[in-house]
A and B are shown apart, each in its own frame.
Chain A
Amino acid sequence: MAERVLACAPCHGAQGEGTRDPYFPHLAGKPAGYLFNQLVAFRNGRRHYPPMNYLLAYLPEAYLNEMAEYLAGLNPPLPPPAVPTAGKEVLATGQRLVTQGDASRNIPACTSCHGSNLTGMEPGIPGLLGLKPNYISAQLGAWRYGTRTALAPDCMQVVAGHLTEVDVAAVTAWLSSRPAPEERRSVPRGTYALPFACGSQPQ
């Protein structure tokens, strides 16, 4: 299988560990269902990034699923955390939003879906650690503007719609500065209940 996904290597690393490019994420060890959903979304053009859309356009779902399972099973170490460039107050705001949310603005804590360790839950919810600041900020921006969408009900789009640019900067700064936990794998399906319905994680 490693040979069959070599086309991913220049951007995502030979072991799916990521590369130095600040916008291309690591893939290894993310939950298989999440990876599969992204592969299908790129293939169908719903998630728009022409080089990915082009690469996957004529691949059947069974094969994409096999790729997702393979990448999910890899376990290289997560990339090191970013050295924070934001001030303490910004980081504190980020930490608060990630771990507690802001009920007054209908923003749930990231941890309520992505897990108290932020490692995600199988099969569809990705972990949020080991991602570079540019990537986190670009993805939250894409959710906010509706250029990245997921299967309905698209909870992530709703949540991101409540974030301001200042929120995005704070969440990005704090998340990207967190070290990898000892156990980086996503927790099994059903470990905790989600606060709302999520198309990517049918319950």
Chain B
Amino acid sequence: MANLAREALPALLAALLGTTSQAQTAPAARADAGVLAKGEYLARAGDCIACHTASEGKPFAGGRSMATPFGTLFTSNVTPDPETGIGKWTADQFYQMMHTGRSPDGGLLYPAMPFGSYTKVTRADSDAIFAYLMSVPPVKQANRPHDLRFPYNNRQLILGWRTLFFREGEFKPDPKQSEEWNRGAYLVEGLGHCGMCHTPINVLGGNSESQAFQGGLIPMQNWYAPSLTSNREAGVGDWTIEEISDLLRTGVSRRGAVYGPMAEVTYNSLQYLTPEDTRAMAVYLKSLGQEVPPPVTSNVPTAESSLLLSLGKTVYDAQCTSCHGAQGQGKPPHYPPLAGNQSIQMSSAVNAIRMVLNGGYPPGTHGNPRPYGMPPFAQSLSDNEVAAVVTYIRTTWGNHGAAVTALEANQLRSAPLD
């Protein structure tokens, strides 16, 4: 599943000791095993591999396409190959790239590479990631040029974007908070680059600081990244720390499962983190959750929505009860509850509709290696039936979502799946 916005440590990494070109073996040989292990772990936390590896491609060799509203970007080779990768880089240059979004030649990186988040990474952590990348097998594979439409193919435009949206600077711990909270904040805001999806993206392709973690529709993918600050969405203010941590690390929890683009994050990144780190992230995320007023109600006329409800119950009873239960109670953690499930009641119904159309498995993780999956219903249910069953689950058992229309269901049939 293509993830839009993160490009990758593009031309980043470079050689530690180095000025010269023997980089691909020398740094690895000299780096301490503890540093390499730490670097590998942090590279997991940053999910570098997800964007910098093409489907069936060699790890970190780049070439993955990233569709954006401005054209297609191709991720870069971050293996230590001196010609096509970052084998000639130094640790200074790598840190410079992470911290300022500039490659060693001074070129500006496209902000699909989440340097707006990585700028918060400490020098020591950046060095460890660099040492690790210099230790992976070098791959000779030239970077594929980006395919951006005019005027976005002009890198100078990035200057404007940076002025509006980029704030350089390492993470500063909040002395009023616990060490655990600060560790969580560092991971969420920095390497985890959660804001890339969970902070709304405006028409200029930027995240606004004042709307941090308030959620938004992910461009090109047609999945809604829920707000992490609203307890009506993915805000976890009323979840237990254990429920949040389970969700991040195993992909399932007693409150719900990850799906859509978040499944990739758990699969490639979060499942590898220590329980202490996902717990710290949980502590921080829980502190973001706020009570907010209920969403606006639907504009579907009452008569129509009562027809939808009655059809919806018929569809639900026939298709959904065996796993999700007659009262929407589910069989957690394997079949998520629908009653009280925030993900279903959000003002955007996009995700609930897409789950019905496309089904899906939570990611197979160390903590949940054999997930149960949901069948796709796109072939068997009409637009009207999809709208009806989604309306039913959004408004029954005390759920406070709004009705959805057959048109909304129909439009999401063509949402991209890859």
Identify the A interface with B (CB < 8 A).
3-11, 21, 44-46, 50-51, 53-60, 62-63, 66
Shortest beta-carbon distance from B360 to chain A in Å: 6
Known A-B contacts A7-B373, A46-B56, A50-B418; the reply to A57 vs B358 at CB < 8 A is no
Q: Contact flags (1/0) for B370-385 with A, using CB distance below 8 Å?
A: 1111111111100000
What is the interface size of chain B, counting residues whose CB is below 8 A from a CB of the partner? 30
Tell yes or no: B369 within 8 A of A by CB.
yes
CB within 8 Å of A: which B360-418 residues: 360-364, 369-380, 416-418
Q: Are B369 and A4 in contact (CB under 8 A)?
A: no
Q: A6, B373: Cβ atoms under 8 Å?
A: yes
23 residue pairs bridging A and B, Cβ less than 8 Å apart:
A5-B373, A6-B372, A6-B375, A7-B360, A7-B361, A10-B376, A10-B377, A10-B379, A11-B376, A45-B418, A46-B56, A50-B418, A51-B358, A57-B263, A58-B264, A58-B267, A58-B362, A58-B363, A59-B371, A63-B364, A63-B369, A63-B370, A66-B370
Provided the pairs A56-B361, A58-B364 are in contact, do residues A51 and B378 lie with their beta carbons within 8 angstroms? yes
In the complex the two chains form, is B263's CB within 8 Å of A4's CB?
no
Cα distance A51–B414 when bound, in Å? 11
B157 is an interface residue with CB less than 8 A from chain A: no
User: Using an 8 Å CB-CB cutoff, how does the interface string of B335-364 with A read, 1 for contact, 0 for none?
Assistant: 000000000000000000000001111111
Closest to A45 in B: B55
Docked Cα-Cα span, A163 to B362, in Å, equals: 41
Number of A-B contacts (CB under 8 A): 79
From B56, B372, B376, B416, A55 is in contact (CB under 8 Å) with B376
* B residues near A9, Cβ cutoff 8 Å: 375
In the complex, what residues of B have CB within 8 A of residue A62's CB? Answer: 369
**CA gap between A74 and B266 in the complex, in Å:** 32
Name the residue on B nearest A54 (C-beta). B417
Per a CB cutoff under 8 Å, which of B1, B361, B372, B375 touches A10? B375
- Assembly CA distance A65 to B379 (angstroms): 26
Distance of A150 Cα from B417 Cα, bound (Å): 22
Is the pair A53, B417 in contact by a Cβ cutoff of 8 Å?
yes
Return the 4 tightest CB-CB contacts between A and B, nearest first: A7-B373, A58-B363, A50-B417, A58-B267
Q: A16 vs B378: C-alpha distance in the bound complex, in angstroms?
A: 19
Docked-complex contact A54 and B371, CB < 8 angstroms: no
Does A57 contact B373, Cβ atoms closer than 8 Å?
A: no
Residues facing A in B287-336 (CB within 8 A) are 323
Is the Cβ of A44 less than 8 Å from the Cβ of B56? Answer: yes
In whole angstroms, how far apart are the Cα atoms of A11 and B362 in the complex? 20
Instruction: Identify the closest chain A residue to B377 (Cβ).
Output: A10
What's the Cα separation between A46 and B266 when bound, in Å?
23
- Of the candidates B56, B363, B370, B377, the one whose C-beta lies within 8 Å of that of A4 is B370
Residues of A with C-beta under 8 A to B372: 3-4, 6
Q: For residue A50, which residues in chain B have a CB less than 8 angstroms away from its CB?
A: 416-418
Return B252 CB to nearest CB of chain A, in Å: 12
Q: In the assembled complex, how far is the CB of residue A147 from the closest CB belonging to chain B, in whole angstroms?
A: 14
Please tell me if the beta carbons of B55 and A55 are within 8 angstroms of each other in the complex.
no
B359 touches A7 (CB 8 A): yes
Among the interface residues B266, B267, B377, which one has the most CB atoms of the partner chain A within 10 A? B267
Query: Is there an interface contact between B1 and A54, defined as CB atoms closer than 8 Å?
Result: yes
Contact (Cβ within 8 A) A60 B360: no
Q: Write the nearest CB–CB distance from B356 to chain A, whole angstroms.
A: 12
Tell me how far the C-beta of A148 lies from the nearest C-beta in chain B, rounded to whole angstroms: 15
In the bound complex, what is the Cα–Cα distance between A21 and B372 (angstroms)? 24
Q: A4-B370, A58-B264, A58-B364 are in contact. Are A21 and B56 (CB under 8 A)?
A: no
Closest residue to B323 on the A side, CB-wise? A6
Determine if B376 and A45 form an interchain contact, defined as CB atoms under 8 angstroms apart. Answer: no
User: Complex: how many Å from CA A21 to CA B378?
Assistant: 13
Residues of B within 8 A of A66 (CB): 370
